[in-house]
Structure 1
Amino acid sequence: MYRSNTPYISFQYKTQDYLNLNLSTNSDETTFRIAVDIFIDRVRSRFLDQIHILATDCDRNGFSIMALECLLVETFAQFYDGIDDTVGVSKTKYVDFLTSNLHCFPSRTAAIRFYSDIRCGILHQAQSKPRSALTFNKTTAIEFANSFLMVSVDRFVEEMDTYFHNYCHDLQNPNNVLLRSNFIQKMDYI
């Protein structure tokens, strides 16, 4: 995003603010904390704040919420794996991320169905596919039975919020060298 001909990496931070950090896995904790703050501001200001506004009426806004959440899943997968994009490996990376990092998926089959029926359905056809549905106010985010996938939008938002919080917390640990290295790879690409 550009404001006054200046590129911004997030709402509050200019791209140059991040570049000036010269971030590496050996950066001191203050420098790394600033980088994580930039990431948090980027995700919150561009996506999570809007999701939470829409979530005040999940029944009306479920498809819009899930479109944003599906976008974030792919983005979080790229940060987690330290890859620039998922061209050619989107399905694999997406499903791997869902099954490894979101604890609401009962099986890999359910995650594959989420990818095809929810992610691809909403992002490519503006609909969920016939073997799936969006709902809200369920006890779990994902229900998968008799080959039918039910996604509780409000619970899925909670799952993603928890993941985001835990990921940002884990980035603060200097012993998480691979996580930090992957984070830097993606941030540098951005």
Structure 2
Amino acid sequence: MYEGKIYIAPNYTLSHCKDVFFNLSASSTPEKWAEALDIFQDRMNARFFNGIEILSQYGEGEHWEHNLSFSIIALNCLLIETLQQFYDGLESTPPGQNGRAFSKFFRLSKHFDFSPDIASVFYKNVRNGILHQSETKGHIALSFSVFAPMVEITNGWVVFNVKRVSDALVNEFMDYIQRLRDPNEKELRSNFVTKMRSIVNKADDQDISTNRNRL
């Protein structure tokens, strides 16, 4: 909330987004979809990509010794789960289904070449470790290199290259945007609309509650 208004994205108010997303369908005009995707990109940049870029830039050059891979991978994990919710048209990941959501994301993404075992290790030891213990679990290491592969196993350790993961997620997101511009992607579009409407509805409920408390 800023100056008494709720924003769905930094440059878009709740009232504006209600008008956009409750009048959006899979068959809406390219102009309506362009506006919807501008809002979506503004939201995702503010919540994920801008922060990842700032942290990544700080961890390079003269500040290379300040390894911010942990903070970046935490944002990566949030982003993966968020994107899968959009893909499936879910308000939230169903209880007990987080592991399946991550497995599905890695299996279907062309930007991640994770075997099922590596995908499971990432979910259990990186995502769950960060969420529940604020640290990775098991023999997991994080690197940040333009030269190393996305994942490698060495001396009993599984090393995830956070830069490679971040770059893959940028490409994943841009592919998603392009697919949403395609009117033939009806299911993907419908799921996107469902997810965005759930976000707007939740914000609207908060707005109503806030205004009621002011009376």
C-alpha deviations, 1:93-148, integer Å up to 9, x for none?
A: 12111221153233111101100111111122111112211012143222257874
Say which one has the larger Rg. Answer: 2
SS in 2 for 1:130: coil
Partner secondary structure for residue 112 of structure 2: coil
Mapping of residues 8-157 of structure 1, within 5 Å = 8-21=7-20, 22-56=23-57, 57=59, 60-88=67-95, 89-137=97-145, 138-144=147-153, 148-157=157-166
Alignment check: 8 A CA contact 2:139 2:158 kept: yes
* Higher normalized contact order (CA 8 Å, seq sep 6+, divided by chain length): 2
Where does residue 163 of structure 1 map in the other structure? 172
What SS is found at the alignment partner of 1:174?
coil
The answer as to whether partners of 1:105 and 1:111 remain within 8 angstroms in 2 is no
Q: How many residues align?
A: 189
Tell me how far apart the structure 1 counterparts of residues 114 and 92 of structure 2 sit (CA, whole Å): 27
The 2-side partners of 1:165 and 1:175 are apart by 17
- Is the 1:104–1:140 Cα contact (8 Å) retained in structure 2? no
Q: Which runs of 5+ in 2 are unaligned?
A: 61-65, 200-215
Q: Distance in 2 between matches of 1:114 and 1:102?
A: 17
Work out the CA distance in 2 between the residues paired with 1:39 and 1:121: 29
1:58-89 deviation per Cα after TM superposition (whole angstroms, max 9, x unaligned)? 65211110111100000000001111111321
Q: 2 CA distance for matches of 1:142 and 1:103?
A: 13
Residue 173 of structure 2 corresponds to residue 173 of structure 1? no
Check the 8 A contact 2:111/2:171 in 1, yes or no.
no
Name whichever of 3-12 and 99-108 sits farther off: 99-108
Task: Name the aligned partner's letter for residue 139 of structure 2.
Answer: R
Distance 1:169 1:161 in 2: 13
Structure 1 unaligned runs (5+)?
A: none
Structure 1 length-normalised TM: 0.93
TM normalised by structure 2 equals 0.83
The two structures, once aligned, show a CA RMSD in angstroms of 1.6
Given that 1:10 and 1:38 are in contact with CA atoms closer than 8 Å, whether structure 2 keeps it comes out as: yes
Q: Distance in 2 between matches of 1:44 and 1:181?
A: 22
Query: Does structure 2 retain, via aligned residues, the 8 Å contact 1:121–1:127?
Result: yes
* Poorly superposed stretches of 4+, deviation over 3 Å: 144-148
1:188 is aligned to: 197
Identical pairs, percent: 35
